[in-house]
């Protein structure tokens, strides 16, 4: 979802419509909309063209600019349990569910708990 949000922000900052960006890229407006909503993923060629057209850094678009910093402002590597990684990978396989978690994690957990009758 972060990719879509950043593409949309950059497109709007450049004052381009989805249709205009699609024409520059050689894809439909629907494809651009899908990229922005996270329901479609551009192929590598289109991704490279997108970052060139929108004058973006690939690391920024991919969310690799986010670093974990401790209370002393020092970066540190993140370690996660294997189970946690498997949970995240499983959620990411369902794009709609993943997008729900990205946009509102607390509400998504509450909805799941409600459906499963957890307290």
pLDDT digits (tens, 9 = 90+) for 15-74: 999 999 999 999 999 999 999 998 999 999 999 999 999 999 998 888 776 666 667 777
> Could you give the CA distance from residue 39 to residue 58 in angstroms, rounded to a whole number?
19
Region 95-113: mean pLDDT is 91
H helical segments located in the chain: 2-13, 18-25, 29-37, 44-53, 58-61, 82-93, 95-103, 105-115
Residue 55 DSSP code: T
pTM (2 d.p.): 0.59
Is the per-residue pLDDT at 80 higher than 90?
A: no
- Strand, helix or coil at 32? helix
Across 20-29, 72-81, 109-118, least confident range: 72-81
User: Which has the higher per-residue pLDDT, 83 or 115?
Assistant: 115
User: Which has the higher per-residue pLDDT, 119 or 55?
Assistant: 55
User: Any idea where the domains of the chain sit in the sequence?
Assistant: 2-61, 67-119
Region 94-102: mean pLDDT is 89
Q: Which CATH number fits domain 2-61: 3.50.50.60, 1.10.260.40, 1.10.240.10, 3.40.50.300?
A: 1.10.260.40
Enter the tokens of residue 33: 């909309």
Spatial CA neighbour of 5 closest among 42, 43, 37: 37
Is the per-residue pLDDT at 77 higher than 80?
A: no
- The reported pLDDT for the residue numbered 21 is 97
């Amino acid at each position: 979802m972060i990719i879509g949000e950043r593409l949309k922000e950059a497109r709007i900052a450049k004052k381009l419509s989805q249709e205009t960006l699609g024409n520059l890229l050689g894809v439909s407006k629907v494809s651009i909309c899908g990229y922005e909503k996270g329901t479609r993923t551009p192929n590598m060629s289109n991704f490279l063209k997108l970052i060139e057209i929108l004058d973006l850094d690939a690391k920024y678009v991919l969310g690799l600019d986010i670093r974990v910093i401790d209370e002393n402002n020092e970066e540190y590597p993140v370690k996660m349990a294997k189970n946690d990684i498997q949970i995240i990978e499983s959620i990411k396989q369902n794009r709609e569910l993943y997008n729900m978690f990205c946009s509102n994690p607390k509400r998504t957990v509450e909805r799941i708990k409600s459906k499963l009758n957890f307290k």
